[in-house]
Structure 1
Amino acid sequence: MEITQVTPSLWMFTFTAGQAYAVRMPGGAGWALVDTGLPEHAERILDALADLGARPGDLKEIVLTHSHMDHTGSAAALAAATGARVLAGAADAPVIRGEIPEPPPVLEEWEVPLYESVHAALADVPPVTPCRVDRELGEGDVLDWGEEVRVLAVPGHTAGSVALHLTSSGVLFTGDTIANVQQLMPGVFNVDRQQAVASFHRQAALDVQTACFGHGAPLTVGAGAALRAAAGQPVS
């Protein structure tokens, strides 16, 4: 696992598949985690947090941007080890709790070989342990991480995908609704590509400086302008 500092209060944890982000709240209020990687990553994440000065009890909230295994895989273990609250989009919460199976994506023809390759690479990954969801998130919800965090419903990749907009610091967490892999683009393997494209455009309209993706390097300067350019919108 690789650790990268994105901003003075934000770190990215990069795994063999996917990424998670640790946010240090101001004033010693604790930490938040956005996504948790594949199963069996909990100890590595806890070790990384310890290196950053965070004890297990300092982790206050775990937000899961969507229900896919490379984002929820270590959520149950981390929640048990830290007592952190787990938050996720309402439509994805039943999948995360293990109540219903993951809906399959509707693949574009060009996505089929990529999808098969990714799943072959993850064939030996242990199954995800179902995780409680303490709060189901929806459009317009607000979290308090020492600054306002606005929740955006951004369906398409999954039905319950959510993005997080830290309004004061200008940080956006997109989950897999946007990827920065070779280029900025809507994420692949969507349940509804038309919705996914609309969610990309919606996030591109935000005034943000930093964008953090589920796959690919964050943008740390002028992220909003870059997203609008990629979405074919006017850059202002």
Structure 2
Amino acid sequence: MESSPRRDGTADHLSRRRFGQLAALGLAAGAGVVGLASPAAAAGTGGQIHYDRARRLAGEDPVLLALVRALTPDVSIPDFPDPPAPVKLFDDLAMLSVGFVHAMAVLTDDGIVLIDALRSAEDAENVIVPGLRELGADPETVRYVVVTHGHYDHFGGARYLADRYGARVLMSPADWDLVARTRPDDAPARDLEIADGQRLTLGDTTIHLHHTPGHTPGTVSPIFPVRAGSERHTAMLWGGTNPPETLTELRTYLSSIRSFRNRMRRAKVDVELSNHPVDHGLDRVEQLRNQPDGENPFVLGRRRTDRFMAVMSLMLRGRIADAEAAGDGN
């Protein structure tokens, strides 16, 4: 369907350690679990060679190191961080967050496409709506809500936005089914279904929506343009980070990484985004606030965004090796 500063070494070290903890929080929240690693993943030793390769590839890059920590088995869950104030990451992209989960608002000349809707109607009313107004955007122009996957902290505010503003809600068929099974009382009315590779166009902006199952059966990851002044960039948002538990699902997740990485290369993606603080994202938000005229920290460049996916691939290969070593044949 196509629809009408750098800092001194000490500060960097502390920041990476803090955001490794935040990463764990963001991953666990969506799945509603108390830890990241399944017993099978934690028990095996076969994955260590892949984890070590991922750490070497990450080097001293705080974004990649945060991802390594987020995907490392048996990470601990910290307290929830304080929610950041709403912020524009780019001229046409805003982040609205409750700390451990974010919604992204794509601002077009014909209205707003919201990517995810936080946890609840209260979040929509008290975070998304006033946050958009604070940034000079009109919440009444929210035309679409793209739900990346069917966990409560991503679709929770969608029904409110649909009922109040007439926004159309999009989700993959598999995750519409997931929501109907698991959270029927909180779910928005079943609306538009996302096909793999679908284009959603509003105004002068086209968002490409790709199926990336693994975190859930129907996780969706978007690729879309953003701008900062005269600069034009292409952004990706990986739709769901927490790895599944079974060997079959882990292999599906790895396949999704590979296919999406190829799509990123073809689209020349140079901006990495996440809907959880698994990527040093909240720290980069503060860097952006403190240095509004500096280089945008979300513009990683094409090679770093590709390395981001390479690190994720290695960490998933480690999870798969652990599951195989533990004898998980599912």
**In 1, Cα distance between equivalents of 2:96 and 2:245:** 24
Q: Any residues of structure 2 matched to 1:30-69 within 5 Å, and which?
A: 30-39=111-120, 40-43=122-125, 44-69=127-152
**In 1, Cα distance between equivalents of 2:134 and 2:175:** 32
Q: Any residues of structure 2 matched to 1:216-227 within 5 Å, and which?
A: 216=277, 217=281, 219-222=298-301, 223-227=304-308
Give the conservation status (yes or no) of the 8 Å contact 1:17–1:37. Answer: no
Paired-residue identity, %? 26
Aligned partner of residue 92 in structure 1, secondary structure: helix
Question: What displacement does 1:190 show?
Answer: 5.7
Letter in 1 for 2:123: H
Question: What displacement does 1:203 show?
Answer: 2.5
Greater relative contact order, per chain length (Cα 8 Å cut-off, separation 6+)? 2
4+ residue runs over 6 A deviation? none
Residue aligning to 1:160: 218
Residue aligning to 1:78: 161
Question: What displacement does 1:30 show?
Answer: 0.7
Give the conservation status (yes or no) of the 8 Å contact 1:204–1:231. Answer: no
Question: Which has the larger share of helix?
Answer: 2
**In 1, Cα distance between equivalents of 2:275 and 2:139:** 23
Higher Cα Rg, which structure:
2
**In 1, Cα distance between equivalents of 2:235 and 2:94:** 12
Letter in 2 for 1:143: L
Q: 1:231 to 1:73 in 2, by over 3 A?
A: closer
Aligned partner of residue 41 in structure 1, secondary structure: helix
Which digits, 9 at most, give the CA deviation of each residue in 1:52-88, with x for residues without a partner? 2232321111000000011111111121121111001
Q: 1:20 to 1:101 in 2, by over 3 A?
A: same
Gaps of 5+ in 1: 103-126, 179-186
Question: What displacement does 1:140 show?
Answer: 2.0
Gaps of 5+ in 2: 1-82, 226-231, 285-297, 315-330
Letter in 2 for 1:193: L
Give the conservation status (yes or no) of the 8 Å contact 1:161–1:175. Answer: yes
Question: What displacement does 1:229 show?
Answer: 4.1
Residue aligning to 1:5: 88
Aligned partner of residue 154 in structure 2, secondary structure: helix
Residue aligning to 1:151: 209
Residue aligning to 1:188: 243
Residue aligning to 2:110: 29
Question: What displacement does 1:5 show?
Answer: 2.2
Letter in 2 for 1:80: D
Question: What displacement does 1:38 show?
Answer: 1.0
**Could you state the TM-score of these two structures normalised by the residue count of structure 1?**
0.74
**In 2, Cα distance between equivalents of 1:129 and 1:231:** 31
Which digits, 9 at most, give the CA deviation of each residue in 1:190-211, with x for residues without a partner? 6722211222233233121112
Q: 1:16 to 1:141 in 2, by over 3 A?
A: same
**In 2, Cα distance between equivalents of 1:161 and 1:57:** 27
**In 2, Cα distance between equivalents of 1:232 and 1:128:** 36
**In 1, Cα distance between equivalents of 2:88 and 2:185:** 28
Give the conservation status (yes or no) of the 8 Å contact 2:88–2:135. Answer: no
**In 2, Cα distance between equivalents of 1:86 and 1:190:** 29
Aligned partner of residue 146 in structure 2, secondary structure: strand
Q: 1:78 to 1:92 in 2, by over 3 A?
A: same
Letter in 2 for 1:152: H
Give the conservation status (yes or no) of the 8 Å contact 2:172–2:195. Answer: yes
User: Does 1:209 find its partner at 2:270?
Assistant: yes
Q: Any residues of structure 2 matched to 1:106-145 within 5 Å, and which?
A: 129-145=186-202
Give the conservation status (yes or no) of the 8 Å contact 1:190–1:196. Answer: no
